[in-house]
Amino acid sequence: MDPTLESGAGEVRNIMVPKSHSGRRIDNFLAWFLNDIPKSRIYRMLRKGEVRVNGSRVQQGYRLIEGDQLRIPPVRLEAKSPAVPNRRLWKLLEDSVLYEDKDLFILNKPAGLAVHGGSGIRSGIIETLRTLRPDEPYLELAHRLDRDTSGCLVIAKDPLVLRELHDLFRQGAIEKRYIALVAGRWRGGRRVIEEGLQRNVERSGERVVRVQQEGKAALTEMAPLELFEIASLVEVTLRTGRTHQIRVHAAYIGHPVAGDEKYGDPAFNKRMRTYGLSQLFLHAKSLTFRLHRSKQGIHVEARLPDAPSAVLERLRADQLLF
């Protein structure tokens, strides 16, 4: 641990944020610094103002600045052993690294793994990576993928790199391409869907995203790659990065993503199960961007996982019957 951060555990801790943690969210920093404390306790400490930054209360999303003075109260809880990933998960993540340098690395995220803990999930990919790489002083998600989406996921190793990646995503300077299998036979060529999206609209107690004019601007491009009798394989280019954007826009134009239990077509999903589909068919195929600080251009492609690839082969075989 950085000597700037060292202090006794049973007393008020006054620490100064070093450059290596500048730009990090305070809740994530506290989860790292107080590694035996559950996140629920950390959020409570922030809500009650027990943690102070430069003498003031802050929200859990506050991003630290080099030189910030933190006051952390005494926290007395029985230490618990950190979650240790099983050998299979460890190997899966290590084998999923597509690209790595001193600033970041990019995974081919497996479907079914959450990118971070929460909502009943004790440990996601980022928490697991911090356990697997204890010598890395800083690991943060540069963006997010839905739990059931596979493909390119960027992890930053430096707060300044994280900030630049956030800026690039926000500016649309990172080209994000996906592959999706959607319901129905696609008609025509490339389509642009530019409909606002509103988060957290209640539907029978479930939080969903809906197309709404007053929602946040969202732009999705879709183009057909391969057509089948009951489905179409499309390439999707995201020009914005809203929650569930591809899934909501695809459903909106009448071509919901195969295997989508939230926004999809139950009858279509049932039929796709006969082809062996047991998950959402949405894959983050590639990322292309350039980091200004290193002047390095990066292009990474993630191979489609075996399970959805097998579904495509069955659809192609079925196509021969028509």
* Average pLDDT per consecutive 10 residues, the chain (322 residues; last block may be shorter): 48 84 86 76 90 92 91 67 63 91 94 76 78 84 93 92 90 95 95 91 76 92 95 96 94 97 96 95 96 86 96 89 47
**Are residues 112 and 8 both part of a single domain?**
no
What count of other Cβ atoms lies within 10 Å of the Cβ of residue 217? 11
Collapsing DSSP to helix, strand or coil, 73 comes out as coil
Same domain, 280 and 314: yes
Query: Could you say which of 146, 148, 158, 265 is catalytic?
Result: 146
Separation between Cα atoms, residue 35 and residue 53, nearest integer Å: 19
Are 216 and 96 members of one domain? yes
47, 72, 97 - which closes a domain: 72
Distance CA 149, CA 238 (A): 14
| Residue 32: inside a domain | yes
Same domain, 55 and 139: no
Residue 158 annotated to the active site: no
pTM of the model: 0.76
Q: Contact at 8 Å (CB) between 222 and 154?
A: no
Beta bridge partners of 52: 71
Write out the DSSP string of 293-309: TTTEEEEEE-PPPHHHH
Task: Indicate the number of domains in the chain.
Answer: 2
* Cα torsion angle, 214, 252, 191, 149, sign: positive
pLDDT of residue 224: 97
Sign of the CA dihedral running 176, 179, 181, 185: positive
- Domain finish residue from 46, 72, 98: 72
Angle of helix 87-95 relative to helix 125-132, nearest 10 degrees, comes to 100
The pLDDT of residue 35 is: 67
Structural domain range at position 42:
3-72
- CATH number of the domain that 11 lies in? 3.10.290.10
Q: What DSSP letter does each residue of 193-216 carry, written as one string?
A: EE--EEEEEEETTEEEEEE-TTSB
Task: Give the pLDDT of residue 10.
Answer: 57
Place of tokens 């007395």: 76
Would you say 14 and 70 are in contact if contact means Cβ atoms under 8 Å apart?
yes
Q: Which of 41, 72, 103 is the last residue of a domain?
A: 72
Angle between the N-to-C axes of helices 39-47 and 26-33, in degrees from 0 to 180, rounded to the nearest 10: 130
The SS3 call for residue 42 is: helix
Exposed, middle or buried: residue 164 (CB in 10 Å: 0-12, 13-18, 19+)?
buried
How confident is the model at residue 180, as a pLDDT?
A: 98
Q: Within this chain, do residues 94 and 66 fall inside the same structural domain, yes or no?
A: no
d(CA 256, CA 81): 43
Task: Please list the alpha-helical segments (H only) found in 96-192.
Answer: 125-132, 159-171
